[in-house]
Amino acid sequence: MAALPTIAEFADGVRAGDRAMLARAITLVESAKGEHAAAAQELVQQLLPAAGKAHRIGITGVPGVGKSTAIDRLGANLLAAGHRVAVLAVDPSSTRSGGSILGDKTRMARLGRSGQAFIRPSPTSGTLGGVARKTREAMVLVEAAGFDVVIVETVGVGQSEAAVAGMVDFFLVLLLAGAGDDLQGIKRGIIEIADMIAITKADGDNVARAMKALATFQGALAILRPGSADWAPPVITISAQANRGLDELWAKIVEHRDRMTASGAFAAKRRAQAATWMHDLLQERLLAALYSDAALGRRIDELEEDVAAGKRTPALAVAELLAMLGLVRQGLGSAP
């Protein structure tokens, strides 16, 4: 097996826009191998100053809503306008292999053929809400490679929407009129975290239904308190097939960034997201430390059985584990 490039080689290649090196760098930060962790973090640290200038857009919607088609068409429009577009598609994972099971490049044919676009499926590998564990690091890498629009596509299930909304600048929810999305969207509270709602496939016989859905969601948003005093989430209709409404969609994204930047909310949100990233990593590393000690691992299993059987409260079980972890951290060995 060929040796990995050095950190300097990785960093130089990514900054130069070398797509092959970028792909290998993302593979490095996604690696679950312990020996790759330090190198991955050093690489992200080196590239961090070159990142942060891109539009970060999260897009979600249930399967069948037309996410990939909309992203492909929007991306093609942006390429024509001189942008460079990266798509991080957070995919469901195969329960056997842990790999992505969606063919992103075939689903986004226009972007897949362009040298100014980069599409990367990120297997979720069972993490909370279906969000890839290393999506934030991948965002840093593609931004350092010169992509000025980064789209994170979620699977549209579970808690992935909230997680992705917490790492992007603008969160777009795609809904399909006449498919039960009206009630579903309100039930899941997704409109409370949306920066914009777009009713998809507003063409042909579906135009009337799309307009009805638009009115429904405009009414729903009118009675909700906006997440920001600087922005009231709009509702629009789009047709990716006819390339209609996507220019308005992009104009709204740009308008949102301009307003948030002018008020200082944009920079404040980015700072808060960086702090959240740190806390998420801290939680992940603490859990990894907990499970890496053999004695602790055995005791976790025993305590889990006690809690499930009603023999011990969850609070007492956690208190014991924290005490044991404290002993390990102080180098006094594992508790018996």
172 with 279, same domain: the answer is no
Which CATH number characterizes residue 281's domain?
Answer: 1.10.287
> Does 198 lie in the same domain as 313?
no
CATH of the domain at 147: 3.40.50.300
Distance between CA atoms of residues 301 and 288, nearest Å: 15
Query: Distance between CA atoms of 242 and 228, rounded to whole angstroms?
Result: 32
Closest alpha carbon to 261 in 230, 227, 225: 230
pLDDT tens digits along 19-75: 999 999 999 998 878 788 889 999 999 999 999 999 999 998 888 889 999 999 999
Instruction: State the Cα–Cα distance between residues 46 and 40, nearest whole angstrom.
Output: 10
Asked if 101 and 187 sit in the same domain, the reply is: yes
Q: Is residue 77 part of a domain?
A: yes
- The answer to whether 90 touches 164, Cβ cutoff 8 Å, is yes
Residue 297 in domain: yes
Region 249-278: mean pLDDT is 95
Type of residue at 250: W
Q: How far apart are the first and last CA of the chain?
A: 42
Question: pLDDT of 291-319, one tens digit each?
Answer: 777 888 889 999 999 999 999 999 999 88
Q: Is residue 242 part of a domain?
A: yes
Domain boundary among 262, 293, 317: 262
C-beta of residue 248 within 8 angstroms of C-beta of residue 77: no
1 part of a folded domain: no
**Residue 91 pLDDT level (bands cut at 50, 70, 90):** low
195-251 per-position pLDDT tens digit: 999 999 999 989 999 999 899 888 878 777 767 788 999 999 999 999 999 999 999
Assigned domain for 217 exists: yes
Number of domains composing the chain: 2
Residues 199 and 299 in one domain: no
- Residue 291 Cα distances to 7, 30, 142, 271, 287, angstroms: 29, 20, 32, 31, 6
Average pLDDT (90-97) is 50
Host domain of residue 130 = 50-262
